[in-house]
Chain A
Amino acid sequence: MSERQYRLLLGVILIMSLFFHWSVMLYAYIGVLLFEGVTNWRIPLLVSRIRYGKDARNPEQAACTLGIPFDVERAFRLIIGALLVVSVVVYPEALWSIPWFLGFALSMAGITGVCPMAMALKKAGFRS
């Protein structure tokens, strides 16, 4: 499973959770994202290791240019998770549109492969 496919999955799940008011699913979703971000045990990586072995790498992974020792995907997950926590748990009425935006953004990132946040993080120097 590639990060792109995983993003599409994340986007679809987020939209469905919002549309069908699956609150538990939404909290679990946030939890998984934060867990992945904190531990770096990311599901695509784990799936790839299960499928291709211990040394499997993300095919999209490239060399770090600026040398910040933190993966883009970890940062990505932490930021998404943090945004969801803020918008869903802390200010649900004021920031109700952020989860929807994130859902559609993740879906489009999964479909098109263009993820502005990941690109910005890479540009900022995070390890991809």
Chain B
Amino acid sequence: MNEKAPVSDDLTRTWQESVAVKITAVVLYAVVLVASLVAAFFLWNADERMERDYAEKADRLAYRVSVDAAGGRTLAGFSVNMERLLPGSGFSAAELRMGDETARTGDPGKDPVAILRPLPIGAGNACVLTLYHLSLHEAVRSRRSAVFIITGASAMVFGLFLTWVILKFITRPIHALVAATRAAISGDLSVRLDLAREDEFGALSRFFNRMLERIGEELAERKQAEERLRRSNEFIKTALDGMNDGISVIDARNFIIQGVNSKFLEEYNLREEDVIGKTCHEVTHRRLDPCGPPDDVCPMLETLTTGGHAVAEHVHYEHDGRKVFVEVSASPIMDEKGEVVQIVHVSRDITDRKQAEELLKKNKEQMANMLDSIHAGVLLIDSRRHEIVYANSFAANMIGAPRDVIAGRVCHQFVCPAEKGMCPITDKREAVDNSERVLLRADGSRLPILKSAMMMQYHGEEHIIESFIDISAIKRTEHELREANDELQAFMYSAAHDLRQPLVNIRGFSVELRQSLQEISAITAKHPDRFAPEERNKLDAIYQNDIQPELGFIESSVERMDGLINGLLKLSQLGHRVMRPERLDMNALVLTVQGSLMHLVREKNAVLSVAELPGVVADRLAMEQVMSNLLDNALKYLCPDRPGVIEISGERVNREVVYHVKDNGRGINRDDMPSGR
């Protein structure tokens, strides 16, 4: 479309540019040309034809005049008749000569041409009709002028009509179309052509309207697509910029960076214009040639070779030269032919991870040194597979195999061989703390150990850490101690038996001695005059102050010795007795003990109060012995200055039961109490 073409609806200004005028001009040129040719053709030898025409007209006119004059008309009648016949005849004047008389009608004009016709009227008198007309030259010229003026006027009228027709049927619809098109170009797609016609312009208007609707729809779709694309681009850009990895898109042919996200620029402390258009190795490795093995394996070369994803660890350099450890991954972008055209290069800063790995490595080494320095075996076991992951040197020594042999083996091959499938940690979910277990050594021998085990997280997975010490020496000592204890108990039993016999003799003889002294005292009392008063007083003093207390001392010592021997005997029996735990009603048990000691309670005039006691699982005989001893001691050592009060109570503390026997007796001298209690 010619944008410079004058397009306007103002026909008063642009009518000359109108198609209608141009078509009209072409048509009129043709009309005028044809008219000229036709006129030239028809007016060829016009003077001769006009001369013949005039002659014929003169003949006809002469005939009419002669017919009209046949009745003897006069010249006056002729004049009247000629005035009627002359107009429209082509003659300018007519003259009738009858003899000497002449009658003329009309004006012959300048240089007229005369045609004479004799008339057969008027007997004996020659009668001649003279008709005048213009010269032929002038007549021809007038006819030519008339032809062209008429032709020109007709052409003008026809031209106007043609222009109107063209304007109405062609130009105006075109103008409407032009106006609508211009409105559409201006962006107004709501404009519509309303041509209620069924011709080509009607079809054109419908096509135009449909085209505008289609353009509108496509524009709307395009706007929506652009909006979607814009949002998608924004989303991608936001997502890429929001990612914590440096991302760049690289041309696969020359490794030139085509786009980067903000994290990439931040990582390398660069601006976008410093990066775009440069090669990746130039920006990240500060080298002019691409990375290559063995120092730097370029993942992009691998991606180009394999067409797949590739990962490698690289050392990159920041703008200021600082080293950055990165994990680089390369992913291909392929064209429709399946060829790699671009590569998405993702670099993740793993400097912290590397440092953490170094630290972890050092910590591992330190931990290994520490574990090796511990004088106990330590095993780290994968709780899921029960495989030994780590063994310290002490454990290896105890097992009797190198560490690399131990590592990877199932733990039941060495520790807890009898508990395969019944692992207290993983199967029973129990805590193992200082439990005696058996270690199966590599040579097949068994070693008693004291083991602790607990769960721990190691590399994100649950592991069991087991520590154990060799208790074979303790076991041997314990065995020896048990044997010595048995011997001691046997000795105590026999000693108690052996000591009881002389003690019975001492007690018996001391009783007999007291009886003898009482008899002597009675005898001396019967005969007070046989002794001097001084002697008598001295004997009384000896008896009362020396013998009686000394016998009391002997008796009390015997009682004490008897108690000690009984205790020794019970102790020896206790060591041999097998405990039989059972659920005990302590209230009933204390009541029984209280009944057995009732005579002592009354003797001491003591008050014994027993609270509600909780039950316990224990050996009945041992508990009776404990309670009996406690109450017996409490009653024995009450304070004589005040009434004795003994209270028995009990309470549950966690999974234990504590019984209290409280008295207001003499108590225990601090010096007699065992140190540290």
- Point out residues on A near B: beta carbons under 8 Å: 4, 15, 18-19, 21, 96-98, 100-101, 104-105, 107-109, 111-114, 116
B 8-66 contacts with A by CB, 8 A: 16-17, 21-22, 24-26, 28-29, 32-33, 36-37, 39-40, 43
Total number of B residues with any Cβ neighbor in A under 8 Å: 24
Asked whether, in the complex, the Cβ of B32 is within 8 Å of the Cβ of A105, the reply is: yes
Given known contacts A104-B148, A108-B29, A114 and B22 CB-to-CB distance under 8 angstroms: yes
In Å, the complex CA distance between A100 and B145 comes to 9
Asked whether, in the complex, the Cβ of A97 is within 8 Å of the Cβ of B40, the reply is: yes
Asked whether, in the complex, the Cβ of A96 is within 8 Å of the Cβ of B29, the reply is: no
Indicate whether B152 reaches chain A with its CB closer than 8 angstroms.
yes
20 pairs, CB–CB < 8 Å, chain A vs chain B: A15-B148, A15-B152, A18-B145, A19-B145, A96-B144, A100-B144, A101-B33, A104-B32, A104-B148, A104-B155, A107-B152, A108-B28, A108-B29, A112-B16, A112-B21, A112-B22, A113-B16, A113-B25, A114-B22, A114-B26
Interface SS, B side:
helix
In Å, the complex CA distance between A19 and B149 comes to 8
Asked whether, in the complex, the Cβ of B141 is within 8 Å of the Cβ of A104, the reply is: no
Not counting A97-B148, A112-B16, a sample of 8 additional A-B residue pairs whose C-beta atoms are within 8 angstroms of each other reads A19-B148, A19-B149, A96-B43, A97-B39, A97-B144, A108-B28, A113-B25, A114-B29
Tell me the smallest distance from the CB of B4 to a CB of chain A, in Å. Answer: 12
- Point out residues on B near A: beta carbons under 8 Å: 16-17, 21-22, 24-26, 28-29, 32-33, 36-37, 39-40, 43, 141, 144-145, 148-149, 152, 155, 159
B residues less than 8 Å from A113 (CB atoms): 16-17, 21-22, 25
In Å, the complex CA distance between A104 and B152 comes to 7
A residues less than 8 Å from B25 (CB atoms): 108-109, 111-114
Asked whether, in the complex, the Cβ of B36 is within 8 Å of the Cβ of A100, the reply is: yes
Asked whether, in the complex, the Cβ of A112 is within 8 Å of the Cβ of B33, the reply is: no
Asked whether, in the complex, the Cβ of A100 is within 8 Å of the Cβ of B28, the reply is: no
Tell me the smallest distance from the CB of A106 to a CB of chain B, in Å. Answer: 11
Interface SS, A side:
helix
Tell me the smallest distance from the CB of A94 to a CB of chain B, in Å. Answer: 9
In-complex Cβ contact of B36 among A97, A109, A111 (8 A):
A97
In Å, the complex CA distance between A109 and B25 comes to 8
Asked whether, in the complex, the Cβ of A108 is within 8 Å of the Cβ of B22, the reply is: no
In Å, the complex CA distance between A65 and B171 comes to 31
In Å, the complex CA distance between A18 and B39 comes to 15
B residues less than 8 Å from A15 (CB atoms): 148, 152
Residue of A nearest to B163 (CB): A112
In Å, the complex CA distance between A21 and B137 comes to 12
A residues less than 8 Å from B21 (CB atoms): 112-114
B residues less than 8 Å from A100 (CB atoms): 36, 39, 144, 148
Tell me the smallest distance from the CB of A7 to a CB of chain B, in Å. Answer: 12
B residues less than 8 Å from A4 (CB atoms): 16
In Å, the complex CA distance between A63 and B52 comes to 58
Tell me the smallest distance from the CB of A20 to a CB of chain B, in Å. Answer: 9
Given known contacts A100-B144, A114-B22, A108 and B16 CB-to-CB distance under 8 angstroms: no
In Å, the complex CA distance between A109 and B32 comes to 12
Given known contacts A101-B32, A112-B24, A96 and B152 CB-to-CB distance under 8 angstroms: no
Tell me the smallest distance from the CB of A73 to a CB of chain B, in Å. Answer: 18
In Å, the complex CA distance between A100 and B37 comes to 11
Asked whether, in the complex, the Cβ of A96 is within 8 Å of the Cβ of B40, the reply is: yes
Asked whether, in the complex, the Cβ of B29 is within 8 Å of the Cβ of A116, the reply is: yes
B residues less than 8 Å from A98 (CB atoms): 36
A residues less than 8 Å from B29 (CB atoms): 105, 108, 114, 116
Residue of A nearest to B39 (CB): A97
Residue of A nearest to B144 (CB): A96
A residues less than 8 Å from B16 (CB atoms): 4, 111-113
Tell me the smallest distance from the CB of B21 to a CB of chain A, in Å. Answer: 5
In-complex Cβ contact of A101 among B17, B36, B159 (8 A):
B36
Which residue, of A18, A19, A100, A116, has the highest number of chain B Cβ atoms within 10 A? Answer: A100
In Å, the complex CA distance between A113 and B20 comes to 12
In Å, the complex CA distance between A105 and B34 comes to 12
Tell me the smallest distance from the CB of A108 to a CB of chain B, in Å. Answer: 5
In Å, the complex CA distance between A128 and B32 comes to 26
Tell me the smallest distance from the CB of B325 to a CB of chain A, in Å. Answer: 72
Tell me the smallest distance from the CB of B347 to a CB of chain A, in Å. Answer: 63
In Å, the complex CA distance between A112 and B36 comes to 20
Which residue, of A19, A105, A112, has the highest number of chain B Cβ atoms within 10 A? Answer: A112
In Å, the complex CA distance between A13 and B531 comes to 212
In Å, the complex CA distance between A21 and B145 comes to 10
Residue of A nearest to B33 (CB): A101
B residues less than 8 Å from A116 (CB atoms): 29
Tell me the smallest distance from the CB of A122 to a CB of chain B, in Å. Answer: 16
Residue of B nearest to A110 (CB): B16
Tell me the smallest distance from the CB of B5 to a CB of chain A, in Å. Answer: 15
